[in-house]
């Protein structure tokens, strides 16, 4: 599944997997967003970062293993997280989140995954949400780019 993906992206996945192993992750975690979409075959855009969703405790452990700092989320805009951090000075940064919520009008809704699909990335196994969950979350985010990606993911399921 990683054939043809940019080297910088693959290096980021490798850094993530190594850091997750060092962090001793205790709860389920997922690569999601554009990175997960690239791993299932959507290759029409540059993946600017690798998004990770996990529990608060594991987010803190993973960010420490990555050498990243926790950033206080102001809760403004369309997204907010209980824990958020991002690596710096890398071609493809890694963003780690816990308690991610998306604003729909005046209300906040949690972003939750139930499925974990294993994906080989080099010598590591990472987990991504099933296509149906990726589609649902892209639609939940509701931005034009997310809706376009949801449509593209649906074509992977039913290319007709």
Residue 51 lies in a domain: yes
Q: What is the mean pLDDT of residues 85-112?
A: 94
Measured CA to CA, the distance from residue 151 to residue 44 in angstroms comes to: 13
Number of structural domains in the chain = 1
Residue 38 lies in a domain: yes
Residue 158 lies in a domain: no
Q: Please give the full DSSP string across the chain, using - where no structure is assigned.
A: --TT--HHHHHHHHHHHHHHHHHT--S--EEETHHHHHHTT--SS----EEEEE-HHHHHHHHHHHT-EE------SSEE-SEEEE--SSSS-EEEEES-EEEETTEEEE------EEEEETTEEEEE--HHHHHHHHHHH--HHHHHHHHHHHHHH---
> What pLDDT score does 1 carry?
61
Residue 146 lies in a domain: no
Contacts of 38 by beta carbon, 8 Å cutoff, 6+ apart: 5, 9, 47
Residue 92 lies in a domain: yes
Predicted confidence (pLDDT) at residue 120 exceeds the cutoff of 80: yes
Residue 136 lies in a domain: no
Averaged pLDDT score across all residues of the chain: 92
Q: What is the pLDDT of residues 43-74, one digit of tens each?
A: 777 789 999 999 999 999 999 999 998 998 77
Residue 2 lies in a domain: no
Residue 14 lies in a domain: yes
Contacts of 113 by beta carbon, 8 Å cutoff, 6+ apart: 28, 30, 32, 53, 129, 133, 137
Structural domain harbouring 68: 7-129
Q: What is the mean pLDDT of residues 142-149?
A: 91
Kindly report whether the global pTM for this prediction surpasses the value 0.95: no
CATH of the domain at 51: 3.30.460.40
Measured CA to CA, the distance from residue 41 to residue 83 in angstroms comes to: 29
């Amino acid at each position: 599944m990683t054939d043809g993906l940019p080297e910088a992206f693959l290096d980021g996945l490798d850094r993530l997997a190594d850091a997750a192993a060092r962090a001793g992750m205790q709860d389920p975690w997922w690569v999601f967003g554009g990175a997960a979409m690239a791993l299932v075959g959507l290759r029409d855009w540059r993946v600017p970062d690798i998004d990770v969703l996990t529990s608060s405790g594991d987010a803190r452990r993973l960010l420490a293993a990555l050498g990243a700092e926790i950033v206080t989320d102001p809760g403004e805009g369309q997204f907010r997280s209980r824990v958020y951090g991002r690596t710096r000075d890398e071609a493809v940064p890694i963003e780690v989140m816990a308690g991610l919520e998306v604003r729909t009008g005046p209300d906040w809704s949690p972003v939750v995954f139930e499925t974990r699909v294993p994906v080989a990335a080099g010598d590591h196994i990472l987990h991504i949400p099933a296509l149906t969950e990726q589609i649902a979350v892209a639609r939940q985010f509701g931005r034009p780019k997310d809706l376009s990606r949801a449509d593209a993911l649906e074509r992977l399921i039913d290319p007709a």
